[in-house]
Amino acid sequence: MSQPGKTKFQIDLRRHLREQDIDDNLIHLITEIAEASKYIINSIRTGDLGVAGTSNLYGEKQLALDVLADRILRKRLDHSRVVANIMSEEMDEIIPISPDCAGKYSVAFDPLDGSSLVDVNLAVGTIVSIFEGCDLLQPGRNQVAALYVLYGPRTTLIYSTGNGVHEFALNTLMEYTLLQENIKIESKGNLYSPGGQRNLYTPGVEAFTNHLEERGVKLRYSGGFVPDINQILLKGRGIFYYPHLQGLPQGKLRLLFELSPMAYLIEQAGGAASNGHQPILDLQPDQIHGRAPVFIGCKEDVALAEEFIRKYEVESPPQVGKKSSKAVHSN
Ligand code: F6P
Ligand code: MN
């Protein structure tokens, strides 16, 4: 894919996108999102760490930074001329941008995932899911692209348009340049990132966790979905889960803004993502803000989680994409 004779550090995001078999509007859209992320990283570095005084519809307190990151992305998408509808984790409803769906894209995004970690200076990220046309309530399998930006010690951008997963880093000139192409994860891992309260685990998830621990896997959980997934993707080994919990059958993470795009990227890298019963990418969202349990990472580990759940949990599988009745108070 890279041109012979050029080192891969000279390949910037736009040029890499041009080498993919995708249309110009999608290239434009992804580069606009990448531009927006440069303003978001600047706000994280220098901005107000306080609360905005508002809550999102999950009952989570919005930070000034959540609101700012949301505005930055929204404005950029609004002016891009290639977007039909947008939907953000911080908004209550779909925002129509253009009534004309042809040649346009609809975008669901979590502007600042893990924002409650900003005050303790841990890594956070932006997650983006892209569909062709106007419809956002589709199974993740229909995405035409997904990406995330990780604001860690370095800022990196990971994207896929269905032709592998590629990593870029922001250099001192504020350009995203290629770090690695076609990232692959192994079939079985040695890391686990178990989300949610352990004393609320259901029997299958508890047995699965015990099994992993007996196998000697290492605990790696930062509390930020983007860095936790990034670690599994780039180390190439491991499983992240935020399972269904007792009293919280849909878990915490949101299907459209968080799970579908990450599942798309992890599948593109040869991994798997399941709600414990079926692939995340096959779930039909029935509402914008629906949640689902998730087990995501190495294929064999995800299959094993499903097996434990089948074996130990006789109750009917959780309904997909439902909004949880219980608010979970952290972003
Ligand atoms: O979107 C919410 C989020 O902050 C994710 O980044 C993270 O994986 C999860 O919640 C952490 O939840 P908890 O605080 O329950 O571990
Ligand atoms: Mn989030």
**Single-letter amino acid code for the residue at 98:** S
Average pLDDT over residues 178-196: 97
Q: Can you tell me the distance from the alpha carbon of 165 to that of 180, in angstroms, rounded to the nearest whole number?
A: 9
Return the pLDDT at 58.
Answer: 74
111 pLDDT higher than 90: yes
Q: Can you tell me the distance from the alpha carbon of 323 to that of 58, in angstroms, rounded to the nearest whole number?
A: 9
Mean pLDDT, the chain, rounded, equals 91
pLDDT digits (tens, 9 = 90+) for 130-158: 999 999 999 999 999 999 999 999 999 99
Q: Of ligand 1's atoms, which has the minimum distance to the CA of residue 253?
A: 1
Residue 330: other Cβ atoms inside 10 A = 12
Q: For tokens 């927006």, name the residue.
A: 36
Residue 214: other Cβ atoms inside 10 A = 8
DSSP class per residue in 203-236: HHHHHHHHHHHHHTPEE---S-HHHHHHHHHHH-
pLDDT digits (tens, 9 = 90+) for 55-93: 777 777 777 888 899 999 999 999 999 999 999 998 989
Beta strands across the sheet bearing 294-297: 218-219, 191-194, 239-242, 294-297, 272-274
Return the pLDDT at 156.
Answer: 98
CA–centroid distance, residue 258 to ligand 2 (Å): 6
Average pLDDT over residues 5-16: 76
With a pLDDT cut of 90, the percent of the chain lying above it is 82
Q: Is 225 in the pocket of ligand 1 (CB under 6 A)?
A: yes
Ligand nearest to the CA of 195: 1
Return the pLDDT at 129.
Answer: 98
Return the pLDDT at 193.
Answer: 98
Q: For tokens 């340049």, name the residue.
A: 177
- Pocket residue to mutate for ligand 1, from 252, 254, 255, 291, most atoms within 8 A of Cβ: 252
326 pLDDT higher than 60: no
Q: Is 330 in the pocket of ligand 1 (CB under 6 A)?
A: yes
Question: Which residue ranges form the domains of the chain, and what is each CATH number?
Answer: 8-180 (3.30.540.10), 191-312 (3.40.190.80)
State how beta strands 294-297 and 218-219 pair.
unpaired
Q: Is 113 in the pocket of ligand 1 (CB under 6 A)?
A: yes
Return the pLDDT at 116.
Answer: 87
Q: Which two tokens stand for residue 17?
A: 């996108």
Closest residue CA from atom 11 of ligand 1: 223
Q: Of ligand 1's atoms, which has the minimum distance to the CA of residue 197?
A: 15
Maximum C-alpha span of the chain: 59
Return the pLDDT at 255.
Answer: 98
pLDDT digits (tens, 9 = 90+) for 204-250: 999 999 999 999 999 999 999 999 999 999 999 999 999 999 999 99
Return the pLDDT at 53.
Answer: 72
Average pLDDT over residues 288-304: 97
Average pLDDT over residues 179-192: 97
49 pLDDT higher than 50: yes
